[in-house]
Amino acid sequence: MAEIHNLETLKNGGYKDAPLTSFKLTCSLPSFPLEIFEFGSTLTHLDLSGTGLSSLPANFSTALPNLKILFLSSCNFTTFPSVLSTHPNLSMVAFRSNRMTSIPEDSLPLNLRWLILTDNLLPSLPSSLGTSCPKLQKLMLSGNLLTSLPESMSSLANLSLLRLSANRFSSLPKWLLALPKLAFLSFAGNPCSAPKSSGAKTPFGLEHVPYSSLTIHSPPLGEGASGVISRADWARSPAYSEEVAVKVFRGRLTSDGTPADEMAACLAAGSHESLITVLGKIDELPAESDRGGAGGGGGGGAGETVGGIVMSLIPDDYKVLGRPPSFDTCTRDVFPDSTREVWKARGEAAVAEVVEMLIGLAGAGEHLHRRGIMHGDFYAHNVLVWKEGKHALLGDFGGATVYAGMDGRDEQEEGEEEEEEKEDKFDGSRLEKLEVLAFGWLVDDWIGLLGKETAEESAPQEKGMRKGLEELRDRCVVEDVQGRPTFEEIVEVLEGMMGWRAMMRIPEVPN
């Protein structure tokens, strides 16, 4: 969808000879250009984001019957267009950052798998949502005015990713936490998620880092949806300084939630061997214009600065394990052939290394949930693996939710009445078990990377570990949410596998 087409050429019939499967305009449009219908049944992708459109022609669905993907983000729709309800093939629809206030009943296309409604003004969803698009897998609702979800959504047996951050939920429905495929949930920035101690306070054990003690280097190391990461020297005393990474959070809303909530989750996470260590919170971060272009002045530009954190610097030889889902895979990460080759080349030793890394990652899951934090995006594309194997880090807290007080003190202060109320909002153990499903899929991804061919030739102990991983995956992905193991149990199982392997290595005593 990268190529941007030209309105003039379209109007002059310049695209007629080579019927396009994919078409994109970004110029301002007073109305839908009917010439697009001349692509007829060949068009599968249409992107008219940023054109300012506010309606679609009545014959849209019949004129473009094979359209699969439709982008109308940053436009002016105030109501979801009912003309899409009869579309036979639409699988992904995006209306991010419109001014949508309503979705009429039964207006959603039947075969929808991926619906993006981030950053609108929706106070409610149609009560028929669950029945009108039963194949829904991914639903992005962050940044609306929602207080409840329609009960028909309890029948969404394939819903895997749901973003509810920055809305007005004071509780989550019980049926939501029982959905059989729900693995990635975020609900930060709602009355039901906000713990007293998140946000402004620097958690115990973290340093207050004066901005003046940092020398920030350009160009930035990277830029995520919620801010810019730069290499920096942190003068911890007049005598020495330390090389660190600095993230300056900025902007209003990402598809996962707000940068402010991401920062609160990073600060609340604490330290663990498989999490990127946050060392401190930057005090009195100057406005972007006063930072001389460093530490937040990178590309993208948009958005007010929310705050900054200082982290340990991840060496260059850590690489992401997977790539984010494609349109086709929707909720599962993709792995290019080059990644598969790397894992295959590692040979038999790779199985034990994977088990070792999974122990660390499951331990990170246990650590986070003990602190009342749901990562919300426990995906291979958020796992950084050391090039030698053996160690992995879970990154990207963009979809994280702090769902309980981050230290015991707050909860003790709340008193029994408030505690009861909190229990009514959601059950923390169920939230953990949703995340365990994501972990199960990560195990499945890694089993896939290890490759089948090697399995046949493997030594008995590697075969045993691989079988152990398959059994663990099967336990983590059961549809009965409560039937899944906790992260603590997962760590025990994985450690048991390593122990068994160690035993197998004890040399045989000759008779």
Strand partners, 36: none
Count of residues that interact with ligand ATP, criterion CB under 6 A: 15
Q: Mask 289-328, x = binds ligand ATP (CB under 6 A)?
A: ----------------------x-xx--------------
Nearer residue to ligand ATP within complex by CB, 317 or 419: 317
SS3 at position 437: helix
Whether the ω angle into residue 173 lies within 30 degrees of 0, i.e. cis, is no
In angstroms, the Cα distances linking 10 to 13, 18, 80 are: 5, 12, 26
To ligand ATP, the closest distance from the beta carbon of 18 in angstroms equals 35
Kindly indicate which of the ranges 77-85, 343-351, 393-401, 431-439 contains the residues binding ligand ATP, using the contact rule CB under 6 A.
Answer: 393-401
Pairing of strands 138-140, 114-116: parallel
CB 400 within 8 Å of CB 374: yes
Nearer residue to ligand ATP within complex by CB, 100 or 306: 306
Nearer residue to ligand ATP within complex by CB, 191 or 222: 222
End-to-end CA distance of the chain: 69
Question: What letters, b where the CB count within 10 A reaches 16 and e where it falls short, cover 61-97?
Answer: bebbeebbbbbbbbbebeebbebbbebebbbbbbbbb
Residue 282 lies near ligand ATP (rule: CB under 6 A): no
Question: What residues form the annotated binding site for ATP?
Answer: 247
Phi, psi of 456, rounded to the nearest 5 degrees: -60, -40
Residue 221 lies near ligand ATP (rule: CB under 6 A): yes
Kindly indicate which of the ranges 4-12, 216-224, 403-411, 426-434 contains the residues binding ligand ATP, using the contact rule CB under 6 A.
Answer: 216-224
Kindly indicate which of the ranges 18-26, 50-58, 71-79, 219-227 contains the residues binding ligand ATP, using the contact rule CB under 6 A.
Answer: 219-227
Which burial class, exposed, middle or buried, applies to 217 when counting CB atoms under 10 A from its CB (0-12, 13-18, 19+)? middle
CB 411 within 8 Å of CB 308: no
Interface residue with ligand ATP among 123, 224, 303, 464 (CB under 6 A) is 224
Interface residue with ligand ATP among 226, 274, 331, 461 (CB under 6 A) is 226
Interface residue with ligand ATP among 143, 270, 308, 395 (CB under 6 A) is 395
Residue 267 lies near ligand ATP (rule: CB under 6 A): no
SS3 at position 187: coil
To ligand ATP, the closest distance from the beta carbon of 209 in angstroms equals 14
Q: Under the rule (CB under 6 A), what is the footprint of ligand ATP?
A: 221-222, 224-227, 229, 245, 276, 311, 313-314, 395-396, 398
